[in-house]
Amino acid sequence: MRINPLHIILLGMLSILFLGCASSKTSAYLNKQPIRTAATNKKAVKWDPNTPYNIEEFRAAWVATVANINWPSSPGLPVHEQKKEALELLDLLEENNFNAVIFQVRPQADALYKSNLEPWSYYLTGNQGAAPDTAYDPLEFWIQAAHQRGLELHAWLNPYRAHHTAGGEISDQSIIKTNPELVVSLENGMYWMDPSLQGTQDHSLAVVMDIVNRYDVDGIHFDDYFYPYDSYNNGKDFPDDSSWQAYLATGGKLSRADWRRQSVNTFIKTVYTEIKSSKPHVKFGLSPFGIWRPGYPESVVGLDQYDKLYADAKLWLNEGWVDYYTPQLYWRINKKGQSFPELLGWWQSENHKQLHLWPGLNIGLGGDEKNTDEVINQIMITRGMVPKSKGAVHWSIAPLVKYDSLAMAIKQGPYNNKSLVPASPWLNNSPLSPPSLQIKKQLGEVEFSWEHPIENKVFRWVLYYQRQGKGWEHTILNKGDRSITLPLSLENGKFPLRKVGLTAVDRTGNQSEFFELEIN
**Per the domain annotation, does 4 fall within a domain?**
no
What ranges in 215-339 are assigned the alpha helix state H? 241-249, 256-278, 305-308, 313-319
Q: Residue 194 has what pLDDT?
A: 98
Residue 514 pLDDT class (50, 70, 90 cuts)? confident
**Per the domain annotation, does 197 fall within a domain?**
yes
**Going by DSSP bridges, is the β-strand pair 219-222/152-157 parallel, antiparallel, or unpaired?**
parallel
Residue 344 and residue 326 in one domain: yes
Backbone φ, ψ for residue 23 (5° rounding): -65, -40
- Quick check: helix, strand or coil at residue 286? strand
What CATH number is associated with residue 438?
Answer: 2.60.40.10
Residue 192 and residue 144 in one domain: yes
Contact 150, 475 (CB under 8 A): no
Q: Residue 92 has what pLDDT?
A: 98
% the chain with pLDDT above 90: 87
**Per the domain annotation, does 3 fall within a domain?**
no
Tens-digit pLDDT profile for residues 92-104: 999 999 999 999 9
Residue 360 and residue 438 in one domain: no
Tens-digit pLDDT profile for residues 142-186: 999 999 999 999 999 999 999 999 999 999 999 999 999 999 999
- DSSP label at residue 184: E
Q: How far apart are the C-alpha atoms of 23 and 199, rounded to whole Å?
A: 50
Closest CA to 59 of 145, 140, 152: 152
Residue 66 and residue 90 in one domain: yes
Total domains in the chain come to 2
pTM listed for this prediction: 0.91
Could you give the strand order of the β-sheet that contains 460-467, starting from the edge strand earlier in sequence? 44-45, 516-518, 497-505, 460-467, 472-478
User: What residues does 505 pair with on adjacent strands?
Assistant: 460, 511
Residue 492 pLDDT class (50, 70, 90 cuts)? confident
Task: Give the pLDDT mean for 488-512.
Answer: 93
Tens-digit pLDDT profile for residues 392-435: 999 999 999 999 999 999 999 999 999 999 999 999 999 999 99
**Per the domain annotation, does 95 fall within a domain?**
yes
Cα 262 off chain centre by: 26
What CATH number is associated with residue 105?
Answer: 3.20.20.80
Contact 306, 312 (CB under 8 A): yes
Q: Residue 109 has what pLDDT?
A: 98
Residue 455 and residue 353 in one domain: no
Name, in order, each residue with C-beta under 8 angstroms of 101's C-beta and a sequence gap of 6 or more. 60, 61, 63, 89, 90, 93, 142, 146, 151, 152, 153, 154, 397
Q: Residue 288 is part of which domain span? A: 58-412
Closest CA to 179 of 202, 156, 159: 202
What ranges in 63-149 are assigned the alpha helix state H? 79-95, 122-125, 138-148
Q: How far apart are the C-alpha atoms of 386 and 129, rounded to whole Å?
A: 44
Residue 86 and residue 105 in one domain: yes
- Quick check: helix, strand or coil at residue 517? strand
Residue 79 and residue 99 in one domain: yes
Task: Give the pLDDT mean for 194-223.
Answer: 98
Cα 230 off chain centre by: 28
Q: How far apart are the C-alpha atoms of 59 and 421, rounded to whole Å?
A: 8
**Per the domain annotation, does 18 fall within a domain?**
no
Residue 460 pLDDT class (50, 70, 90 cuts)? very high
Domain limit, last residue, from 378, 412, 446: 412
- Quick check: helix, strand or coil at residue 155? strand
Domain limit, last residue, from 412, 442, 465: 412
Domain limit, last residue, from 412, 435, 469: 412
Residue 236 and residue 361 in one domain: yes
Residue 396 and residue 440 in one domain: no
Residue 388 and residue 440 in one domain: no
Task: Give the pLDDT mean for 254-279.
Answer: 98
**Per the domain annotation, does 241 fall within a domain?**
yes
Cα 65 off chain centre by: 16
Q: Residue 51 has what pLDDT?
A: 52
- DSSP label at residue 215: S
Q: Residue 53 has what pLDDT?
A: 67
Length of the chain: 520
Residue 214 and residue 312 in one domain: yes
Residue 48 and residue 62 in one domain: no
